[in-house]
């Protein structure tokens, strides 16, 4: 399993001026719907999943209101191909340089823990909270998962309720089920 790189955290509201504040993005189709990939100067800062390009572009604008957004399908072709390949064949892994600077320190701790969950494995929100040293922090872990903008790269779809059932997934429980089913088949 390849672990992805994460840059040093900046405050969640940090603003960068100039070209470094430009985010390029592109959208493609996949077996689980449309996928938007966005990249900052540091790395992939968003992988969003949805049913329409308009919905995904609006989500990106909402998440990065202080950034200049520029569509760049050609420049992101490799990232898009890697993401679709991962959806189709999760055993291939997903090795992208990530930019998680917009997360709080707690969110970043949760996201780092999510990234070490092997493909095909799951954990409960409570189990993840315990691993973080916060046995009563299941709700905070769930909130951090919901704030994750890098679907698949930070695999929050691998987290389940305490009873093992599927729970809220920002991009829909059916997509979560489809991803877990594909991963279980490897």
Alpha helix ranges (H) inside the chain: 53-63, 77-88, 105-115, 125-131, 138-147, 173-184
**Burial (CB count <10 Å: 0-12, 13-18, 19+), residue 106:** middle
Question: Would strands 44-50 and 159-160 be described as parallel, antiparallel, or unpaired?
Answer: unpaired
Number of residues in the chain: 186
What are the respective helix, strand and coil percentages of the chain, to the nearest 5? 40, 20, 40
| Catalytic residue status for 45 | no
Please give the Cα distance from 93 to 74 (Å, whole number). Answer: 22
Catalytic member of 45, 119, 145, 156:
156
Active-site residue set? 156
């Amino acid at each position: 399993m390849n672990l992805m790189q994460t840059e040093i955290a900046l405050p969640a509201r940090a603003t960068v001026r100039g070209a470094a504040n430009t985010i390029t993005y592109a959208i493609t189709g996949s077996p689980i719907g449309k996928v938007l990939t966005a990249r900052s100067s540091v790395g992939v800062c968003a992988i969003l999943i949805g049913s329409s390009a308009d919905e995904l572009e609006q989500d990106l604008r909402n998440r990065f209101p202080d950034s200049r957004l520029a569509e760049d399908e050609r420049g992101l072709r490799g990232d898009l191909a890697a993401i679709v390949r991962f959806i189709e064949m999760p055993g291939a892994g997903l090795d992208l340089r990530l930019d998680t600077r917009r997360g709080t320190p707690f969110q970043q701790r949760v996201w780092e823990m999510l990234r070490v969950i092997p493909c095909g494995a799951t954990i409960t929100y409570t189990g993840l909270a315990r691993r973080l040293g916060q046995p009563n922090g299941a709700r905070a872990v769930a909130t951090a998962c919901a704030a994750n903008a890098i679907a698949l790269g930070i695999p929050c779809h691998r987290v389940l309720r305490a009873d093992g059932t599927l729970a809220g997934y920002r991009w829909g429980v059916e997509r979560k089920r489809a991803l877990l089913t594909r991963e279980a088949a490897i």
